[in-house]
Structures are given as structure tokens and as C-alpha cells.
Amino acid sequence: MSDSPFRQNADLRAATRLAHDAPQDRHSVTPPVFQSSLFCFDTVEEMAARFRGENQAYVYSRGDNPGVEAFEQKIAALEGAEAARAFSSGMGAISATLMSLLQAGARVVCVRDVYADTYRFLEKLMSRYGVRTEYVDGCDRAALAAALPGASVLYLESPTSWTFRTQDLAHAAQAARAHGVVTVCDNSWATPLHQQPLALGIDLVLHSASKYIGGHSDTVAGVVAGSKARIAALNALSYPYLGAKLAPWEAWLLLRGMRTLDVRLRAQWACAEALMEKLASHAAVRRILHPAWQCGPGNQYLHGFSSLFSIELDAAYDPLRFCNALRLFKRGVSWGGHESLALPAQVALQGAAPNAQADFGVSPALVRLYIGLEDMHDLWRDLEQGLAQAVC
């Protein structure tokens, strides 16, 4: 396993790091896909040496694969991390990370309005293993400080899902460290281009790579990054046994998607910003939930904005009728790909408890909008006609 080619070029800007891959065999400009479950040894002595940890040869693709490793190194370089570990989904990264840090009797402090399946993982599964979670308002420093003593993990997501409120990551990291609490931050919305939690003192940063990082709605993947010691602890405890490894072909798709991450984000933000301006002056829109439109204690750490936000509709407009009337915006979960999407809070709130939206008081008048790569004028015409048809 080679050292990251990006580390020797620490002065390169993110866009350049994204555009280039490590030098390849036979001067290929893209990496090969090592679609192999295992890697062989010339002698049993070499194999024994590998198992003693005396060399770094590849063994088995549940543990290590060269293409997956290339993706991990690229993410680590962008996040300013020593190491990273890729997973078959964002939830794979979240569950393996938390399970490596928690044991029976432990308490998690988690920000409110966290991603719904992270909430369900803590409430439905971790609760069965004696792990209790306390949810705090991430904007409330005093509540956070009061919850930390005796906790094992502080779990953050900045900005949060649906409400898009940021947390003061530097302050939270410092307060947690003072109590020996490990900090984890979901950075999927900002991407490593717009926020680097590790530089603010956070211990582990993780992503759903299914979103902006992949960028083309064709891959489900996740990744966690941090110090060598923290990733080694995850490798020793949860990663090999939960088995949620990233497939070589999906790692290749992620590397391909990442080459355009910088230009995609720029274009999408320009479009989203223009649309939010227009939405803000429309009679149907009560408020816009996005860090550019609401103050938050962690807004200062965002170097740029993303194109996922919520709008709260006036009571005279029906969010479901609005979503059904849209022609260019598709109705769907997820985000981060080429296509614009609409998701009403009422519909996302499915089934019985535990349910993050209901428990955190997310307004049923919210519609989450994701702006993809289409033309701004076409999208605005679609939103305008959708709102016109949504009048109750």
C-alpha cells in the first residue's frame, strides 16, 4: 500500500487534487478497477510475514483493495486527515464508527435534527445494546456543555438535516475534549471542499459519499476520516466484522465523480442562490432554511454553500400538491446528483416511531429542495407553476 501521492503536494488547491489521480501503471490517466476478492502470495513465508504485520501486501477485498484505498486517500487528503476508511454506504460508515466507540452503558450526546437513519440507528439498534442517547440543540452551548460530562461520544451534523442549522464545531470539539468525549461530525452537506471539521478539532469526520461526492445518483457509499490511531481502532474493532466494505467498481465511480466535485458545487450554488432569492420574495414561501438564510453558530466555518435546503410554505399552499405539480424537479429521497429533487416533510415522516422529524418537531409545511445541474430559468419556471397550482 503506497503512501498518498497527494500528501507530497500539500500546497495544491482542492480542485487540483480532485482533478488528478495518482500516477498509474502504463501511464493510464485513470486507475484500473481491481475486481478481485483476494490477492496471492509467492510463498507461505511472505503470507506469514503479512499476517504478523511486517508488510502491507493486499490480502482480501473485505479488508483492503487498491482502488478503494485510492478513494480513501483522496478523501483523507481533502479532509486533512491521516487516514480514511470507505464503506458501502454512509450508514455503513456511521454504524461502524459508532460501534467502534461505544459499549454497553455508554451515553451519546447527539445534535437534534440529525439524519433520520442515524437517529433510528441510535434509537432502535444501539438502545438494545445498552447505549443511551441524549439529543441537544446544537446551537445551545450551555445545553451542550451540560450534557457532555460522562458521555462517550458527541455526534454532530453541521448543518443538520431538514433544518440546516450549523454548530460551532471548534467550540464543541474543545468542550468535548475537556471531558474526554470523542467527537464525530457528519460533513455530507458541506463536502470536504466547504468545511474541514478535523482542522477545527473534531476527531472523526464522515460522509455519505452517495451524495455530492459521487455526484451522479449511481452509487451508494460512505467514508470516515481521522487520525491514524482512530482509523486503526475502527479497523481493529468494527470494520472487518460488520463487513460493509466498498466495492472496487463503486470506488472507481466515486473517483470519477470527484473529479468534477468543485465545478459541480460552484454551478449548483450559483443556481440555488438565484432560486432562493426568487423563492424568498414569493408569497408562498414563509422562510428558507439554509445557512445562507439563517444565522447559526457554525456558519463561520463554511467556506462555501451547497444546493440542498428547505422551504416552509405558507398555510395557504399545500406542500403535497406543490410537489406533485413539479415537472422538472423529481420527487425522491437522497440528493447530490445531477437531477433536482423535491421531498415534502409530511411524506418523509413515514411509519411508526422512532421518527426523527416528528420527535424533533420538523414542520409539516417544509419541502426539501435539491438543486441539480439543470438551467436556473427552467427550474424557476417549474417552481413558479408548481406553487401556482399548490394554492389550497
Ligand X SMILES: *Cc1c(COP(=O)(O)O)cnc(C)c1O
Beta carbon nearer to ligand X, 94 or 144? 94
115 is catalytic: yes
Cell, residue 68: 478503494
Contact yes or no for 159/189 (Cβ under 8 A): yes
89-128 positions binding ligand X, by CB under 6 A: 89-91, 115
| 85 in active site | no
4, 61, 161, 191: residue in contact with ligand X (rule CB under 6 A): 161
Q: Does 188 interact with ligand X (rule: CB under 6 A)? A: yes
**Cβ-Cβ contacts under 8 Å for 379 (sequence gap 6 or more):** 271, 275, 328, 329, 340, 371
Decide whether 91 or 261 has the Cβ nearer to ligand X. 91
The dihedrals phi and psi of 204, each to the nearest 5 degrees, come to -135, 135
Residue 344's Cβ-count burial label (10 Å; 0-12, 13-18, 19+) is buried
Task: Lay out the site mask for ligand X across 64-93 (x = CB under 6 A, - = otherwise).
Answer: -------------------------xxx--
β-bridge partners, 57: none
31 binds ligand X (CB under 6 A): no
Q: How many residues are given for the chain?
A: 392
Taking phi first (over 0 means left), then psi (-120 to 50 degrees means alpha), and beta for anything else, what does residue 32 get?
beta
Residue 357 CA to residue 116 CA, distance in Å, equals 7
Q: Which of 21, 113, 186, 262 is catalytic?
A: 186
Smallest distance from the beta carbon of 110 to ligand X, in angstroms? Answer: 13
Q: Is the previous residue joined to 354 through a cis bond, with omega within 30 degrees of 0? A: yes
CB atoms under 10 Å from CB of 14, counted, come to 17
Q: Is 245 a catalytic residue?
A: no
Instruction: Specify the DSSP class assigned to residue 60.
Output: B
Provide the minimum distance between the beta carbon of 118 and ligand X in the complex, in angstroms, as a whole number.
6
Residue 57: other Cβ atoms inside 10 A: 14
* Part in contact with ligand X (CB under 6 A); list of ranges 31-39, 192-200, 203-211, 241-249: 203-211
The verdict on whether omega for the bond into residue 32 sits within 30 degrees of 0, i.e. cis, is no
State the catalytic residue, choosing from 50, 62, 107, 256. 62
65 vs 219, which CB is nearer to ligand X?
A: 219
Total residues contacting ligand X by CB under 6 A comes to 13
- Check residue 186 for interaction with ligand X (CB under 6 A): yes
Closest residue to ligand X, Cβ-based? 90
| Binding stretches for ligand X (CB under 6 A) | 89-91, 115, 157, 161, 186, 188, 208, 210-211, 220, 222
The catalytic residue positions are 62, 115, 186, 211
